[in-house]
Amino acid sequence: MPTATFYTHVSDPAAFACRLVRRAAQNPEPLLVWTQELGELESLDQALWRDPPEGFLPHEIWRTDAAFPQGVPVVLACGAPLPPLPAGTVVLNLSQDFWTQAAPPPLRVLEIVGGSLEELAAARDRFRAYKQAGFTLEHHNMQGKAV
């Protein structure tokens, strides 16, 4: 059964995303970071090149009309519609897309949510959608925690 993990009340979503990518990339499952738009994808690409300054996390930008990249721990992409993924893929969803609609669904979806009322309302909608689709749900309140 797929899992959706929500990290809410994140004070700096961009910095938290970089940290979460580095942690998730240590797992054996492929990691796809799905962004809302190309500019966001390019910013994350640059951040992964230089943060931290002493390390580089191998990653590749995926054009979803091509085969899913192999041999890299992190794949970055954006677009529509949601692409088919290799079995066992973990998705860090930095978009408003609902991965409940992906076929096949990812093994796990990670959702980062800021603290604004709009972000929390949108997250509630995604939470309900994942629940209705049969995902196991996890929640981590990051309020007051270091990034």
96 within 8 A of 36, measured Cβ to Cβ? yes
- In this predicted structure, what is the pLDDT of residue 53? 65
Of 104, 94, 89, 103, nearest to 126 (Cα)? 94
Identify the segments of the chain with pLDDT beneath 70. 51-55, 146-147
DSSP code of 95?
Answer: S
Which residues 6+ apart lie within 8 Å of 36 measured at CB? 78, 94, 95, 96
- In this predicted structure, what is the pLDDT of residue 146? 63
Which residues 6+ apart lie within 8 Å of 91 measured at CB? 31, 32, 33, 34, 85, 99, 106, 108, 109, 110
- In this predicted structure, what is the pLDDT of residue 8? 95
